Each structure stands twice: as C-alpha cells, then as structure tokens.
Amino acid sequence: MFRELMPIIENRALTITVVRVHDGKIKLCVVPHALEKDDEINKKVGYRKEVPKISEQALKALTTPLSVEGTPDELDAELVQQLSCYAEVHIRLQHGIVEATQKINAALNEIEEREKNKTKAKATAAASKKEEEQKPDKVDAKPSAEATLPLDWCAPTSQNATPANEPGQSKGGTQ
C-alpha cells in the first residue's frame, strides 16, 4: 500500500484516515496536503495578461482526496490497485503543473528581457535626440560656390558666335 503512495509522498504530505462506517465496512481516505509552492507561480504572474495563470481547478486537483469504502476483504483485494491508479493520475497532474510552471517562468523571463530592451532602446533614442538638439545649427545665409549648380549652360550665348554648320558658309574660308 505505501509503495504505491511513495510517488505522492515524495512531493507532499498525505493524511490517511481509516474509520469503521456501518455493517462491518471500512472507509479509507487519502488526502494530499496543499503546499505553499502550488500557487507560487500564479503569484509570480501577477498582473501580466500576456501569460495565463495555472487554473485554480488544476491546483485544487493536487489535493483531491481518494475515498474508498468496503469490507476488509474487498479493501484488501482492491486497495493496492486503486492506490496505484490514484498515484499515477496525481503524478501526471503534478508533472503537468511543473511543465506549465517552467513555461510560464520562461515566458515571464522573455517579457522582462523584452521590456529591458525597450527601455534601453528608448534611453538610447532619447540620448541621441538630446545630442542632436545640443549641436549648433550651421546655417549660412549664402550658399558656397561649390554648393550651387553650374548654371553656365543656361546663360544666353554671345551674339558674335556663329554655329559651325550654318547653311551658306563653307568651312574653307572665302568663296
């Protein structure tokens, strides 16, 4: 009997109650105790809406008692099997809560890291903006000669200049 309960006993205390009920029957109750660490992760999640909490129902299931009733012969024949099944279900539930706790912790760590990075980025951006505001503005009233476009091509041509290939003129000189 206790060998079947050992997986539960390793993680939490149990209370076992045995009472005589009626007609020679016995009632046996196995009650796992609640632990402070059961709800610890939900307290850690706190106000964060991005990360779900472990349901209260799942946490209460860790303390769900097993209650069996029967004659001494019936309990002798079936109690070990019932305790084995009970312990197996309890351990699966405990394992699921441990996995959920690890995932919630990882998510909380990622959120904290993201918030730190946002804070650093805002601080860096604010510092850069402050530096730019503190730099004196260099505004020249007249642009320098290099900064202007060469507008020589827009200037009117001189009237003395003659195009090279005007009709009626030869390239050789006089006619």
Per-residue pLDDT of the chain in tens (175 residues, 90 and over written 9): 888 888 888 888 999 999 999 888 999 999 999 888 877 777 777 766 777 778 788 888 888 999 999 999 999 899 999 999 999 998 998 888 888 888 888 888 888 888 888 777 777 776 676 666 666 555 555 555 555 555 555 556 655 555 555 555 555 555 4
Q: What whole-number distance in Å separates Cα of residue 100 and Cα of residue 106?
A: 10
Question: Smallest Cα–Cα separation from 101: which of 32, 50, 53?
Answer: 53
Q: pTM of the full predicted structure?
A: 0.57
DSSP per residue over 25-49, as a string? -EEEEEEEPP-GGGGHHHHHHTT-S
- What are 35-52's pLDDT values in tens digits? 888 777 777 777 667 777
The domains of the chain are located at 2-123
- What are 124-145's pLDDT values in tens digits? 776 676 666 666 555 555 555 5
Estimate the crossing angle of helix 72-134 against helix 2-9, to 10 degrees.
10
| Dihedral of alpha carbons 59, 60, 63, 67, sign | negative
Structure tokens at 148: 């202007």
Burial class from Cβ neighbours inside 10 Å (0-12, 13-18, 19+) for residue 83 reads: buried
CB atoms within 10 A of CB 94: 19
